[in-house]
Structures are given as structure tokens and as C-alpha cells.
């Protein structure tokens, strides 16, 4: 149970670090100067291209494109790569059994199981697709303030309830992760020895039940605090006087080149 608690703590910290990347949105970088609507629509287009292709070359190129944008936006690779890298690694672990399950010509034999060539290609393609999509989403999170993103979504005529729900979930995630970390830390401080597998599973169930009850209690308190501070059911957003300048035009041209390469790879 202690090892499981430590693993959950690490995963929750990585997830929180992935979400808390707004500090880079205040820097004077390339994507920070791109119009919010242009940036959002272009990144969504890149994600659609990544999902709709199985070409490994294009997926690698899209990932390199994201890394280039990161460097031009003055985001440290040492901070960028660990913050999103755990998601592709997790995806690889989930899809790895398909190297045995996918029918096709065997490439090699491992512990009595045939590893097929189609299975290897499927695992590689899926992992690269997840990596490309997550890297594009990371560009948006690292270079865009959440308040600007909410305003952009509303300006694109996205229904207000959906935008408000997104803002509420984004804010509550930090409370959720902090509560989970405090519970695991408290349990880790009280457990001094291994109590056996059965006892650990029973205590794990108690921890899950206690966490759910505390989550509901905390969410009610958060909502009451929001209402006490004037929350009327919708998040207020404030427009920025961004104009489509040189950086926006250059970014659109680069995305256009990526679209052209995608079309070529489809032929």
C-alpha cells in the first residue's frame, strides 16, 4: 500500500505540474504573441491531423514542430518534457500488449508468445500519435493563460455552460489533487511496516471511500465560498486587445505547411 500511495503521489504531482504551466504564458515568446483565436484553431487543426493519420514520418515531424515552437516560445525543455512525457509513457504501457494480440506475420518470439510486425507498427503509431497530440495540447497550456482561453472559447460561440464547466473543472482539479496528496501523505506517516496484502487491500478500500466522502464535502465548501464571493453561475472573462500581427501570420503559414505535408503523406 505504501508503494501504491507513493506511485499515486508521483502521478498526481506530474498531473498538477502539467496543468500549472501558466507561468510561461507571461513571457515574451513566439506563441505568446500569436492571436488567441488563431492559436486555438491552429492547434486544434494540428490535433485533428495527428488523429487522422497513421504516417509515422508525419507524426515525428509534428512532434519536432511542437518542440521547435516550445523553443521559440522561450519554454525550457527541461521543464516541458517531464511535464507532458508521462502521458505518452502511460499510453505505451497500456497499448504494449497489442504486440502479441495483433494478428500477422511473427517478427520474433518472446516467452513463448509471437510478437507480430503489425502489432509493433500499431504500438509505435499509437504512441507517436498520443505524443504528437499531447505535445500540441501542451503548446496551448504553456503559452496561453486560462482566462484568455475561456474568453477565446466564448468568443468562438462555444455554449457558455460548457465554458463555465471547463473553468470550474480546471480550478477544482487542484483542490482534488491537493486533497489526495494530503491523505496519502498522512497515511504514509502513520504506516511504519508492511501489514500484508489482504490488510493493504482492505485499507486501500477505506482510503478510497474516505477520499470520495471528503471530496464531496470539500466541493460543497468550495461552491459555498464561490457564492459568498459573488459567483452567479458563470465565469467572467475579460477581452484582450490582440490583433493578427506578424507572429500570427507566420504561425498560420507554418501550420499551412504542416497541412500540405499531411496531404502529401495521404497520397
Q: Where are the domains of the chain?
A: 2-158+243-266, 160-236
What does the DSSP assignment read for 17-48? HHH--GGGGGS--TGGGS-HHHHHHHHHHHHH
Task: Note the pLDDT of residue 177.
Answer: 72
Per DSSP bridges, beta strands 106-110 and 113-116 are antiparallel
- CA dihedral 21→27→31→36, nearest 10 degrees, is 80
Cell of 219: 466541493
Q: What average pLDDT values come out for the chain (267 residues) when binned by 10 residues?
A: 54 60 77 88 93 91 92 84 80 87 76 81 91 88 82 82 78 73 71 61 68 76 78 67 81 94 88
Task: Note the pLDDT of residue 19.
Answer: 58
List, for residues 29-66, the tens digit of each pLDDT value. Answer: 898 888 888 999 999 999 999 999 889 999 999 999 99
> ∠ CA 145-142-161 to the nearest 5 degrees?
45
Task: Note the pLDDT of residue 1.
Answer: 46
Cell of 47: 490535433
Q: Which residue has the cell 503509431?
A: 125
Task: Note the pLDDT of residue 13.
Answer: 62
Task: Note the pLDDT of residue 2.
Answer: 45
Amino acid at each position: 500500500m505504501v508503494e501504491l500511495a507513493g506511485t499515486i503521489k508521483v502521478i498526481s504531482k506530474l498531473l498538477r505540474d502539467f496543468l500549472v504551466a501558466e507561468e510561461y504564458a507571461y513571457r515574451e515568446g513566439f506563441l505568446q504573441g500569436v492571436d488567441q483565436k488563431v492559436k486555438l484553431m491552429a492547434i486544434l487543426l494540428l490535433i485533428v491531423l495527428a488523429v487522422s493519420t497513421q504516417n509515422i514520418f508525419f507524426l515525428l515531424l509534428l512532434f519536432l514542430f511542437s518542440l521547435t515552437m516550445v523553443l521559440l516560445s522561450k519554454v525550457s525543455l527541461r521543464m516541458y518534457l517531464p511535464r507532458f512525457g508521462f502521458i505518452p509513457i502511460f499510453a505505451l504501457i497500456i497499448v504494449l500488449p497489442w504486440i502479441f494480440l495483433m494478428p500477422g506475420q511473427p517478427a520474433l518470439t518472446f516467452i513463448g508468445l509471437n510478437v507480430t510486425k503489425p502489432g509493433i507498427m500499431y504500438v509505435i503509431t499509437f504512441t507517436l500519435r498520443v505524443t504528437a497530440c499531447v505535445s500540441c495540447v501542451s503548446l496551448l497550456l504553456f503559452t496561453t493563460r486560462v482566462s484568455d482561453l475561456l474568453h477565446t472559447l466564448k468568443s468562438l460561440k462555444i455554449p457558455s455552460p460548457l465554458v463555465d464547466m471547463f473553468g470550474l473543472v480546471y480550478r477544482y482539479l487542484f483542490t482534488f489533487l491537493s486533497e489526495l496528496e494530503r491523505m496519502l501523505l498522512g497515511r504514509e506517516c502513520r504506516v511504519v511496516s508492511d501489514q500484508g496484502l489482504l490488510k493493504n487491500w482492505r485499507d486501500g478500500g477505506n482510503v478510497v471511500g474516505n477520499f470520495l466522502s471528503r471530496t464531496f464535502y470539500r466541493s460543497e465548501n468550495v461552491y459555498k465560498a464561490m457564492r459568498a464571493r459573488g459567483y452567479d453561475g458563470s465565469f467572467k472573462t475579460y477581452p484582450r486587445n490582440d490583433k493578427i500581427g506578424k507572429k500570427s501570420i507566420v504561425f498560420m503559414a507554418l501550420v499551412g505547411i504542416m497541412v500540405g505535408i499531411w496531404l502529401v503523406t495521404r497520397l
